[in-house]
Amino acid sequence: MIDFVNKPVARLILVGLPALALQTTFFAEVKIFGVVLQIMLALSIAAGLAGGSENGALAGFVFGLMFDLVLTSPLGLSALVYGAAGWGAGYLHSRALENPKWLNALVVGLMSGLATFVLPIVANWIGVEGWLSSRLTKVMIVVALSNALFSFLVVPIARWSLAIRRSQRLAPPAEVFL
């Protein structure tokens, strides 16, 4: 049992379920300027920062898929975009030898805004209309700023989810040696 819990995928699900519950209850009601904050997206990007591009893609896929399962939008849409966001965050992280908290917040904010913009575009490609609108700019800004603030909380959670030890965290990311 302990071995199972120590596996990253199991931990991602363990973290993802309560995060999704928060997303569908608390964050669905508490809106900032009418915008729903996106904790699942923040977690996906944080996983990329904590564990590199591969882990970011995996975490984004898992969190996005869980989110898709409770939405009416096509299954796999959030998984694809969140996975890409996690991968992108890991890739950006690999360019820096140090990752101070302010840099994490900046990356989480930037990637959140980008993912929020890309999601309706991908949806439009697959035939889901009505998501691209003038409101998108406001949604991008609010989600980016809120997720930047969330980063101080979600990056440590993502580290635990991916079972990253302190020694691994302090070492340069694997991408540096590619």
Partner 1 sequence: MPVYSVSRRRAIALLALTSILLITLDIQGNSVVRGLRGVFSTIFEPVQSSARVMTRPLENSWRGITNYGELEAENQRLQDQLDQQEGAFIAALATARDAQELLALNGIDNLADISSVTAQVIGGTPSNYSQTIEINQGSDRGLRVGMPVVNAAGLVGRITWVDNDRSLVLLANDSLYAIPVQVVNQPNIVPATTTTTTTSTTTTTSTTTTTSSTTTTLPVVPPVSAVVDPNGITTTTQSMTTTTVDLSTVDFGALAPTTTGVIVTIAPGTTAGGPTTTLNLDDLPIAETGIFRGRGIDNAPVVEFIDQNSRFGEVQVGALVFTSGGSQSLAPRGIVVGRVIKIVERTGTSGAVLEVRLTAKLTSLNFVRVLLYQPVATGAP
Q: Name the residues that contact partner 1, by CB under 8 A.
A: 8-9, 17-18, 20-30, 35-36, 38, 51-55, 57-58, 61, 64-77, 79-80, 83-84, 87, 116, 119-120, 123, 126-131, 133-135, 139, 143, 162-164, 168, 174
H or E stretch at 42? helix 39-70
CB nearer partner 1, residue 106 or residue 136: 136
Q: How far is the CB of 53 from partner 1 (least distance, A)?
A: 7
Paired tokens of 126: 């697959």
Q: How far is CA 119 from the centre of its chain?
A: 13
Q: How far is the CB of 103 from partner 1 (least distance, A)?
A: 21
CB nearer partner 1, residue 74 or residue 99: 74
Q: How far is the CB of 67 from partner 1 (least distance, A)?
A: 8
DSSP string, 79-143: HHHHHHHHHHHHHHHHT-S---HHHHHHHHHHHHHHHHHHHHHHHHHTT--S--STHHHHHHHHH
Q: How far is the CB of 66 from partner 1 (least distance, A)?
A: 7
Which residue, among 17, 20, 82, 94, has the nearest Cα to 50 in the 3D structure? 94
